[in-house]
Amino acid sequence: MKEFINKTAFITGGASGIGLGIAKTLVKEGMNVVIGDVQDDRLDRAEAELKAISNNIMAVNVDVCSRSALQEVAEMIERRFGTVQVLCNNAGIGGGAKVLETPDDRWRRVQEVNLWGPINGIKVFLPRMLESGEEGHIVNTSSFSGIHGHGNQSCYGASKFALVGLSEFLRNDLTDTEVSVSVLCPHVADTPIIDALKEKVNDQVREMIEDMAVPADTVGQQVLNAIKNQEFYIFCDGTHTRKMLEKRCEDMLAAMDRQFPKEEG
């Protein structure tokens, strides 16, 4: 996408952290920005912050698990701003624990928000985006935990791996259309999710997290660059994660080479 002025973005989980970082960046680019979230206090604060930059802001309480509620939001946005050109399926919840230690209801809830939320967003907004015939972009917020299975992330990591897969297949579906896709894979971004995590760990781990954390506003800028340049994967840091990615690729290729050795010559 090259034109941003007076175009419209809808960002779920947009009242806080990464979503708000994206919202601020896109507002500064001249876009109308609609943030959706389930926390009214955060919505009020974020709306005030964004309105200090532009008046073309809407803040709506919407749960991404409800397709009908998203449908209403789509209609509300169209009445005020017209069709959405940028959809950021960003709302997400955590769920780090071992597989056996994660109760079934948590497994289901995390998939409902982190995977079905984006599916609902796509099913509601993508047909409208395609119908408009305009250039558009969808950003799905996954995680580096959707790229590499490190730590104990059970239901969270599984939902984020699924979201990377969904994004790759969506990209294939949308070849030859005006709509492009990116999948955002932050490792550690400085947001309230990470603040909550920091309270549970010892001083040494806290320091490590602080050292790795990328500011949410920087992530917003990385997302904007990816939209402008039609980049599919958005990695927010290339230092702490590079070795993990290399190891995953090496392990897979080594398995393939063992099972199907390359013929000489």
Ligand X SMILES: NC(=O)c1ccc[n+]([C@@H]2O[C@H](COP(=O)([O-])OP(=O)(O)OC[C@H]3O[C@@H](n4cnc5c(N)ncnc54)[C@H](O)[C@@H]3O)[C@@H](O)[C@H]2O)c1
Q: CB of residue 125 vs ligand X: minimum separation in angstroms?
A: 14
Task: Give the nearer residue to ligand X in terms of CB position, either 135 or 148.
Answer: 148
Q: CB of residue 177 vs ligand X: minimum separation in angstroms?
A: 25
Q: CB of residue 34 vs ligand X: minimum separation in angstroms?
A: 13
Task: With CA atoms as reference, report the closest residue to 90 among 32, 29, 9, 27.
Answer: 9
65 is an interface residue for ligand X by CB under 6 A:
yes
Pull the structure tokens for residue 59: 């803040």
217 is an interface residue for ligand X by CB under 6 A:
no
Choose one: 11-19, 170-178, 223-231, 254-262; the region binding ligand X (CB under 6 A).
11-19
- Does residue 17 contact residue 35 with C-beta atoms inside 8 Å? no
Choose one: 48-56, 58-66, 77-85, 164-172; the region binding ligand X (CB under 6 A).
58-66
Q: What is the 3-state secondary structure (H, E, C) of 220-244?
A: HHHHHHHHHHCCCEEECCCCCCHHH
By CB under 6 A, name the one of 19, 118, 157, 220 that touches ligand X: 19
Binding to ligand X in span 160-199, by CB under 6 A: 186, 188-189, 191-194
In DSSP notation, 105-152 reads HHHHHHHIIIIIHHHHHHHHHHHHHHHHTS-EEEEEE--GGGTS--SS
42 is an interface residue for ligand X by CB under 6 A:
yes
Quote the CA–CA distance of 115 and 130 in Å, as a whole number.
22
CB-based burial of residue 109 (10 Å sphere; 0-12 exposed, 13-18 middle, 19+ buried)?
A: middle
Query: Is 233 annotated in the active site?
Result: no
Sign, CA dihedral 26-66-192-166, equals negative
Binding to ligand X in span 80-109, by CB under 6 A: 90-93
Residues that bind ligand X (CB under 6 A): 12-13, 15-19, 36-39, 42, 63-65, 90-93, 113, 117, 141, 143, 186, 188-189, 191-194
What residues are annotated to the active site?
Answer: 156
